[in-house]
């Protein structure tokens, strides 16, 4: 049976990395160390350890858009029980916040590493995912768009600080981020660019403003289409969104974070029904949430390789992380001067 292979590669005209491979490795560490320390201080987060895999029946794994297959394996000396590599820690973090007794206004963050076996690899996507997963306890009164915007503005301020810091270490790098991030709803974006696919709308808006946060992803728009897919059981589709930057190297929108205020009992009920996923109510996580046993939270993931790729002006995510790539892509990158780690 023939092997299925697929990849997409874009090489910017005249591209040449501004840092060599050793400088790149040193800069990656500098960015990660600075950013996570500044983020923890800004959002009042404590670093914790987190699982690489979970048991599927707990319902703790992130189902992403609902079609991605998790990597699974059986555990020999636990009766052959099957575990699966996490996609993200969106649900697990709410349990951790309760277990650790973290109070409102404070939270946690962790290094999240995952394998997403069904990704079509390209300049931005790898089967290996590394991000800072963070979560913060909030009050019922914080479940508003204004509070969401305040959190996004705090994260963006840390992005700006990190950009200035790495530019100071490597003056050859440029600063692209605008002073402030622009907020747009997914419906406003559709109204601005009617008939244009959502990914193209994102790039047009990102180019116009430099940095945008798109609010409200998962539900249907006036056109009857969704801006993008979201699992129904972690973000509130009315109080979530993506941070997108304009990537000057690639000439397109560049997602750096997916985040949002998490579902409460009411929004979980509504979204499970809309997504025809009410069978998930039998899972441990969903039962706890429906019984008001978990705290109200806001949280998200911030891509570590994505951040490094953007700030170091790299054309390919493989220039800032070690992963597995199709042989054809490796060969083409070598020919075009893109050095994969």
- Residue-wise pLDDT for 291-334, tens only, equals 989 999 999 999 999 999 999 999 889 899 888 888 888 888 88
Q: How many CB atoms lie within 10 A of CB 98?
A: 15
pLDDT of residue 175: 85
Looking at the domain assignment, is residue 324 inside a domain? yes
Of residues 56 and 36, more confidently modeled: 36
Which helix (H) or strand (E) element contains residue 255?
A: strand 252-262
Q: Is residue 8 part of a domain?
A: no
Contact 112, 133 (CB under 8 A): yes
Q: Does residue 340 lie within any of the structural domains?
A: no
- In a domain, residue 26? The reply is yes
The separation between CA 3 and the C-alpha centre of its own chain, rounded to angstroms, equals 29
Average pLDDT over residues 236-258: 93
Predicted confidence at residue 58, as pLDDT, reads 77
Contacts of 20 by beta carbon, 8 Å cutoff, 6+ apart: none
Establish if 25 belongs to a structural domain.
yes
pLDDT grade, residue 1 (50/70/90)? very low
pLDDT of residue 44: 97
Q: What is the domain extent for residue 61?
A: 21-335
Is the CB of residue 9 less than 8 Å from the CB of residue 329? yes
How many CB atoms sit inside 10 A of residue 72's CB?
11
The answer, yes or no, to whether residue 3 has pLDDT greater than 70, is no
User: Are 114 and 100 in contact, with CB atoms under 8 Å apart?
Assistant: no
Identify whether 9 is part of a domain: no
pLDDT of 7 strictly over 70: no
- Tell me the per-residue pLDDT of 111-157, one tens digit each, with 9 for 90 and over: 988 888 877 888 888 888 899 999 999 999 999 999 999 999 999 99
| pLDDT digits 0-9 by tens, 189-206 | 999 999 899 889 999 999
Q: 191 burial class (0-12, 13-18, 19+ CB within 10 angstroms)? A: middle
What does the pLDDT read at residue 5?
55
Is position 6 within any domain? no
Average pLDDT of the chain?
Answer: 89
**Burial degree of 158 (CB within 10 A; 0-12, 13-18, 19+):** buried
CA–CA distance, 135 with 45 (Å, rounded to integer): 8
Say how many domains are in the chain: 1
Locate 15 and state its tokens: 């591209």
Assigned token pair, 272? 């499970």
pLDDT at 235 over 70: yes
pTM: 0.88
Task: Give the active site residues.
Answer: 62, 116, 131, 242, 255, 258
How confident is the model over 9-33, as pLDDT tens digits? 888 888 888 999 999 999 999 999 9
CATH code at position 121: 3.30.930.10
The whole-angstrom separation of Cα 294 and Cα 23 is 44
Tokens encoding 314:
């790299």
Q: Is residue 15 part of a domain?
A: no
């Amino acid at each position: 049976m023939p092997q299925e292979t697929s990849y997409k590669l874009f090489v910017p005209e005249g591209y040449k990395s501004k840092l060599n491979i050793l400088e790149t490795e040193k800069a990656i560490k500098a960015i990660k160390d600075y950013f996570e320390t500044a983020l923890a201080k800004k959002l009042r987060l404590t670093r914790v350890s987190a699982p690489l895999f979970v048991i599927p029946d707990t319902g703790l794994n992130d189902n992403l858009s609902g079609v991605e297959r998790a990597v699974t394996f059986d555990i020999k000396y636990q009766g052959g029980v099957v575990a699966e590599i996490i996609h993200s820690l969106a649900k697990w973090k709410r349990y951790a916040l309760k277990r650790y007794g973290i109070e409102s206004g404070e939270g946690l963050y962790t290094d999240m590493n995952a394998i997403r076996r069904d990704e079509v690899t390209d300049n931005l996507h790898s089967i290996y995912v590394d991000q800072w997963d963070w979560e913060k306890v909030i009050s019922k009164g914080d479940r508003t768009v204004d509070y969401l915007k305040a959190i996004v503005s705090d994260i963006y301020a840390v992005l700006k600080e990190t950009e200035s810091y790495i530019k100071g270490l490597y003056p050859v790098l440029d600063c692209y981020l605008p002073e402030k991030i622009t907020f747009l709803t997914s419906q406003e974006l559709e109204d601005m660019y009617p008939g244009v696919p959502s990914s193209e709308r994102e790039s047009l808006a990102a180019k116009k403003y430099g940095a945008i946060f798109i609010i409200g992803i998962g539900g249907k728009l006036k056109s009857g289409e969704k801006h993008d897919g979201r699992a129904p059981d972690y973000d509130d589709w009315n109080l979530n969104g993506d941070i997108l930057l304009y990537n000057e190297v690639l000439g397109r929108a560049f997602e750096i974070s997916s985040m949002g205020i998490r579902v409460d009992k009411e929004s979980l009920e509504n979204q499970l029904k809309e997504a025809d996923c009410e069978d998930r109510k039998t899972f441990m996580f969903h039962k706890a949430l429906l019984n008001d046993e978990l705290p109200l939270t806001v949280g998200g993931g911030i891509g570590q390789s994505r951040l490094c790729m953007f700030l170091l002006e790299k054309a390919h995510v493989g220039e800032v992380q070690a992963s597995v790539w199709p042989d054809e892509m490796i060969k083409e990158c070598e020919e075009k001067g893109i050095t994969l780690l």
